[in-house]
Structure 1
Amino acid sequence: MTSLTGRRWAPLPRRRPARQVPPLLGLGVPVPKTSRWVLRAVSVAVPLGLWFFVSALGVVGKEFLPSPGDTWAAGWEMARSGQLADDVWASSARILYGFGIAVVVSVPLGILMGAFPSVHAGLEPIVGILRYLPAAAFIPLLVIWLGIGESSKVALLVIGVVFFNTLMTADVVKVVPKELRQVSATLGARQGEILRKVVVPYALPGILDAIRVNFAVAWNLVVVAELIAAESGLGYRISRAQRFLQSDKIFAILIVIGLIGLAIDVVLRLVRDRIGRWQP
């Protein structure tokens, strides 16, 4: 085979026809709604079934792996006594304050970084450095600066979320098509109007996705914060249960945290889908 320049190329290898791939295994192939719900149910049923199976065999002691029945009983006892509700509210209140402050700071900052290259150039180095510092490493300093009260716990949540959410928001804003800005400017829109009426609405679904991801980080951090110098909260309850080898309570609390996170995730996803109906 000779190209237009006279250079000889090796002939293309013969290949067998590609095998037909099942729809569920195809790259980028949409999954039918029924199949999607089946896969979701299986993803929960398989680990739950393994838990039942291993605990029923008794190969692992109950102090290390409690049975689902023991876990349910421990969770029900904490709920009936009101202890669980108090701890859930204590942890949720800390997240509302800490995560709320982080979102209020990071979203506008991320929008400015994504929309204005000069702001991005000025802030990206320091924000990029700070996001690599483990939030838990600030606990000794926060205790020194703010004491062992609520302020240090809220500050830990802010530190652990604000830098990541800032950069993720900036990345979302940067991918807003330039054509939309250029058309708006051609029609006479000013910079502030383009930012408010074009850039922010277009990026809002992606910003909500970033918030949804970082909300899980906030839950991880609040548990870490409550393991030290706390008198209430789910992390504090885990720490107390660990002292007395009450693994059934630990499992119950972990399940509660997972269910709360799942509920919040579903709500944020529904809000995101409603706001971004125009997106594919």
Structure 2
Amino acid sequence: MTASARAGSPPPAAPVRRRAFAPLEPISASARTMLGLGFFVLFVVVWGIATLGGFVSPTFLASPITMVKEGWLLFTEYGFIGDIGMTVWRVFGGFLLAAVIAVPLGVAMGTWKTVEAFFEPFVSFCRYLPASAFIPLLILWAGLGEMQKLLVIFIGSFFQIVLMVAVTVGGARRDLVEAAYTLGANSRGIVARVLIPGAAPGIAETLRLVLGWAWTYVIVAELIGSSSGIGHMITDSQALLNTGQIIFGIIVIGVIGLLSDFAFKALNRRLFAWAAL
């Protein structure tokens, strides 16, 4: 028995062992990266076994090697970089157009209950309407040009942003609002100095999430009446039963979307570093 035990003092605490699968237990950044890459490697291995092993017909699913070859041909012979540029322009053009209008409206709905009562039923109604259902009308109204494709993305993004921003702003802490009133702030000051700064990280996160949805709308817009873009390439490849090019186009969309998501996250952390504290 040690002297500390004889004196009645408690024994030293045992070191805490972190369990990888404990609920809400954090993991290191390196472990997160390795696990994420590990899934992609496993996916490609299973895909290769299924296709190169002859378990799936090449007509229905190209192998990873064939997909890479077809992707190289797209870049070197078919000007695929131009299709990528057009798709990126459509996504960000329609998304920015939606965000510029939807964010102020969402802030107003979250701030003033009268504004919310006026707009919320209609916005909620439109939120459930699929953007693809508007394509025939948009073709009649705007033709087959770029405006029609931008409007598809606008419709698919606008109503989601409005409601999510309104919920974020409306969830502000009442004690902060009351404290601002006590310090002499007026209604404009409450909005500018309490509600908007407090909701800004949540608004930025909302925009990041909806940007991911915008990528799904652009392909739908490009499947009909388009002469350029990744969706147009996928449609042409489908007519030729070229599954290698179809898969490559899908993967390119995923890669660009993932990169934009990482960029959005990094920008949010830089702009709202205090929100993570």
TM-score normalised by the chain length of structure 1: 0.89
Q: What corresponds to 1:229 in structure 2?
A: 225
Q: Is the 8 A contact 2:61 2:243 kept in 1?
A: yes
Q: Distance in 2 between matches of 1:82 and 1:61?
A: 26
Q: What corresponds to 2:238 in structure 1?
A: 242
Q: What corresponds to 2:208 in structure 1?
A: 212
Q: Select which of 162, 170, 173 maps to 1:174.
A: 170
Q: What corresponds to 2:82 in structure 1?
A: 86
Q: Structure 2 matches for 1:99-138, cutoff 5 A?
A: 99-138=95-134
Bigger CA drift: 171-180 or 154-163? 171-180
Q: What corresponds to 2:55 in structure 1?
A: 59
Q: What corresponds to 1:270 in structure 2?
A: 266
Identical columns (%): 35
The reply on whether 1:157 has 2:160 as its aligned counterpart is no
Offset of 1:82 from its aligned partner? 5.8
What secondary structure sits across from 2:275 in the alignment?
Answer: coil
Gaps of 5+ in 1: 1-20
Offset of 1:191 from its aligned partner? 1.5
What secondary structure sits across from 1:24 in the alignment?
Answer: coil
Q: Structure 2 matches for 1:176-215, cutoff 5 A?
A: 176-215=172-211
Q: Is the 8 A contact 1:23 1:31 kept in 2?
A: no
Bigger CA drift: 169-178 or 73-82? 73-82
Offset of 1:118 from its aligned partner? 1.6
What amino acid is aligned across from residue 174 of structure 1 in structure 2? Answer: G
What amino acid is aligned across from residue 60 of structure 1 in structure 2? Answer: V
Query: For each residue in 1:17-50, what CA deviation from the matched residue of structure 2 results, as whole angstroms up to 9, or x when unmatched?
Result: xxxx972222222222232222212222221221
Tell me how many residue pairs correspond in the alignment: 261
Q: Distance in 2 between matches of 1:125 and 1:87?
A: 38
Q: What corresponds to 2:13 in structure 1?
A: none
Moved over 3 A (4+): none
Gaps of 5+ in 2: 1-16
What amino acid is aligned across from residue 228 of structure 2 in structure 1? Answer: S
Q: Distance in 2 between matches of 1:114 and 1:37?
A: 37
Q: What corresponds to 2:10 in structure 1?
A: none
Bigger CA drift: 189-198 or 99-108? 189-198
